[in-house]
Structure 1
Amino acid sequence: MQRKIKLVIIIATLSNGGAERIAALLSENLPDNFEVSFLLYKDEVFYSYSGNKYILKVNTDNKIIKQILNLRAINKYIDEIKPDLTLSFLTNPNILNLLSISHTKIISVRGVRSKSLKGLGGFIYKNLIKLFYNKADSIVALSKGVKEDLIDNFKIHSNNINIIYNFCDIERITNEKNIKLDIKNHKIFEKPSIITAGRLEFPKGHFNLLRAFKNVKNSIHDAQLIILGKGKLKKDLVKLAKELNIFNSVHFLGFVENPFKYFSKADIFVLPSIMEGFGNVIIEAMACSLPIISTDCIGPKEIITNSANIKVEDEILYAEHGVLTPVFKNNKYRNNNSLTKEEVLFSSAIINLLNNSSLKNRYKLESQKRVKDFSKDKIVKNWIKVLNDFNLS
């Protein structure tokens, strides 16, 4: 009889995020010889998962003490569970995993940390990454761009980094996308509709998106913008939409458990991010047969062009599997600022797809083909290979 491999996954929560969704999906799709346990900082679970769940239950506002207590709690559970492997997602859990008493440590790096870590906290984390990441038994980078960032900016050994893209549960999305919307929301999609999804935070580029959408409205008067996701910037974004006189055409629907039933009703999916390690929401939108427009924010280009080496700066790139535009400058522009070159190009790409049905249909078909490269079966095999490299069975 095959011995069970005990895997502990360390992550802050299982709610409202791409890393969280992938950790949960991975637990549900590993072979039966894996016994999975989650160590969560908080008891926040939106995604279905398979395995045991343990909550660290650390309550203090002191950031240093919180990390010490989190590490103590992690070590307590590791000592109790006695896992063969610990796998962590995101920077803070990665650091604590590497400091823990676990014997075999795998960390998953999800973003371009040289750009996303800011301020004093970012400075500290950057130095911790340089100090500790080479101590991992294996590093899983989300994309070629993430791997290059680790090597070039943090001096991480390249031979210890595996690239595993996020996977897409195509079968599940196919089932969920066909669920009907209520009458109120269904009416939104009777007009030309653009949809996006992501946390309402600066790196996601929503300020630029609203300003670009104002330009779209000047050409396509009945266009509608649907924004899925929650976050601290909602009030500011609502204020900007009102200042731009587009509020009645912008629909902030918050976090939804099934975004796919909204995706499948839209005409175009857009990703306006300033930076993304991969852009999991793109392949989910592709599974809903949506044409894709994205800024050239590191990870998405590997989905849209099959390459990490292309750089889009002054023009729109109509690539193999979607459309790329130059990345926005990370600034909080208001309604009285002139549109930037990047915002003009982004809005032009939207207008062109909405007005060109043959181009839009071509990219719908490309999405249906491309998403198969990120199927659950293909990507889970890559994870199993990494997890089995330590000859634990």
Structure 2
Amino acid sequence: MPRKNIAIIVPTLNKGGAERVAANLSAEFSKYYNVYVIVHDGRDITYPYGGILCDLKIPPSNSKIKKIINLIKRIRAVRKIKQRYSIDYTLSHLPPANYVNIFSRKKDKIYTFVHSTEKNTLKNIIRMKTVALLSDKVICVSECIRNNLIHNFKISEKKLVTVYNFCPGLKPGDNYCELEHREHKQSDTITVVNMGRLSKPKGQWHLIRAFSHVVKKHKNVRLEIIGDGELRDDLKELTKKLNIENHVYFAGFLINPFERLARADIYVSSSLYEGLPMALIEAGMCGIPIISTDCDGCREYVAPNTVEAKNSMNEDKFGILVPAFNEGTISQTELTPNEKILADAIETLISDREKRKHFGIMARQRSLDFIPDKIMKQWFELLT
């Protein structure tokens, strides 16, 4: 039987979480299908991919008129690619690529991804209803995204399917967690790590303020923030205001963060909202005990059987949840009540080695729900 032809459209393959998901899919799909990775702008590729790269060379623009012109150009270019390679299925990630996908249909089936829980503003409702109407399936990377689209956007359940992201190369026998290393490491320093784009949705300023409270009681702690973004300078300035710049290290973007993750003692997600963050799956893959804000996507990983958010610290099956944050002000130095709860959760794990070990094992166990073999079974059904 001839291989099916699969196209994957994503604006770039540069740094972001959705971009990493697209790259991971292309690499895994290329074992079974003919894969064509279509990018709007291929000048700066950071993630390895599988298949043939089709660079449209149509970068983004801030001009409204130019945006419309670029959309038309991309649609025409992708339509030609679909025809040239007899594409059977086209998967697209992020709104700009989803628009290109739905309006460039040939004989292919259209699958559009939604990676985050959207607010039901008029603009978002119009966009989502248009995308859903013209897609064969809308792929939700978590159940909370699917429920949001059903209840707040009134999208038909028949259009929606939940397919979790996977960690490439993750399989049950792998030993990423290095628990033995943590038990016998020479240094007494406790390393807290956070990973994600330095941007407002990730809320790292809340973590930094909470960490400043932790440092007052525990001098042997260090915070490492993996990632880069528009808030880097603001976050660095905040560490100086709080006099903790010697305790906080900004590692920048790392293509392969696993070695650094595996040497950490505690992982903290401070996100304001999430679909289902790859960073949590990767932290779990490395066997790090997880503390996370109680937003929908993170709760689905840490406490999959819990529906509603809570207003206190909760030790759940696969980690610890703390109340979610409002956006707030980055530059303020005074702790909010929820930041104090986060500080208490970090101190709980710092002070209890056995609890750290327990939640590290449980985080690792949860990550096995996201192994490629398990997720690919679902894709095989969708691509038949």
Q: So what's the TM-score if we normalise by structure 1?
A: 0.89
Question: Is 2:365 the partner of 1:360?
Answer: no
Query: 2:213 and 2:221 mapped to 1: Cα distance?
Result: 11
Are positions 1:112 and 2:110 aligned together? no
The code of the aligned residue for 1:316 comes to M
**Alpha-carbon separation, structure 1, partners of 2:79 and 2:370:** 34
CA contact (8 A) 2:112 2:131 kept: no
Q: Over residues 253-294 of structure 1, what are the superposed CA-to-partner deviations in whole Å (9 max), with x where a residue is unaligned?
A: 100121111011111011000011001111111111100000
- The answer (yes or no) to whether the contact 2:302–2:317 under 8 Å persists in 1 is yes
The residue number in structure 1 matching 2:221 is 223
Aligned pair 1:68/2:65, yes or no?
Answer: no
SS of match in other structure, 2:254: coil
Consecutive unaligned residues in structure 2, runs of 5 or more: 179-184
The secondary structure found in structure 2 opposite 1:299 is: helix
RMSD, matched Cα? 2.2
Shift of 1:102: 3.1
263, 268, 271: which one aligns with 1:270: 268
The corresponding residue for 2:197 is 199
Residues 176-207 of structure 1, C-alpha deviations (whole Å, 9 max, x = no match): 888xxxxxxx99x7511100110000000011
2:361 matches 1:350: no
Unaligned stretches of 5+ residues in structure 1: 116-121, 179-185, 389-393
Equivalent of residue 374 in structure 2, options 378, 381, 385 = 378
Matched letter for residue 151 of structure 2: D
Check conservation: 1:191, 1:222, Cα contact below 8 A. yes
Q: Letter of the aligned partner of 1:345 in structure 2?
A: I
After the TM superposition, which of the residue ranges 72-81 and 357-366 deviates more from structure 2?
Answer: 72-81
1: CA distance, partners of 2:29 / 2:289 = 31
- List aligned pairs for 1:114-153, cutoff 5 A: 114=119, 124-153=123-152
| Corresponding residue SS for 1:114 | coil
Within 1, Cα distance between the matches of 2:360 and 2:152?
Answer: 37
Range that drifts further, 126-135 or 371-380: 126-135
Please give the alpha-carbon distance, in whole angstroms, between the structure 1 residues aligned to 2:124 and 2:36. Answer: 26
SS of the aligned residue for 2:155 comes to coil
Residue 222 of structure 1 and its aligned partner are, at CA, apart by: 2.4
- Partner deviation per Cα, 1:45-102 (whole Å, 9 max, x = no partner): 2222210001111255422222222222222222322201111111221122111123
Shift of 1:32: 4.4
Shift of residue 148, structure 1, vs aligned partner: 1.0
Q: 1:92 aligns with which of 83, 87, 96?
A: 96
- Does the CA-based 8 Å contact 1:244-1:335 persist in structure 2? no
| CA–CA separation in structure 1 for the residues paired with 2:317 and 2:264 | 21
Q: Would you say the 8 A contact 1:113–1:126 is kept in 2?
A: no
d(CA) in 2 for partners of 1:191, 1:252? 17
Q: Is the 8 A contact 2:132 2:159 kept in 1?
A: no
TM-score (norm 2): 0.91
**Does the aligned pair in 1 maintain the 2:18–2:93 contact within 8 Å?**
yes
User: Are the equivalent residues in 2 in contact too, given 1:174–1:288 (CA < 8 A)?
Assistant: no
> Secondary structure at the residue paired with 2:296?
coil
Whole-Å separation in 1 of the counterparts to 2:241 and 2:48: 40
Is 1:155 matched with 2:163?
Answer: no
Contact 1:108 1:140 in 2 (8 A): yes
Query: Hey, what does 1:307 align to over in structure 2?
Result: 305
Superposition deviation, residue 171 in structure 1? 4.0
Aligned residues: 371
Please report how far the alpha carbon of residue 358 of structure 1 lies from its aligned counterpart in structure 2 after TM superposition. Answer: 1.4
Q: Amino acid of the residue matched to residue 210 of structure 2?
A: A
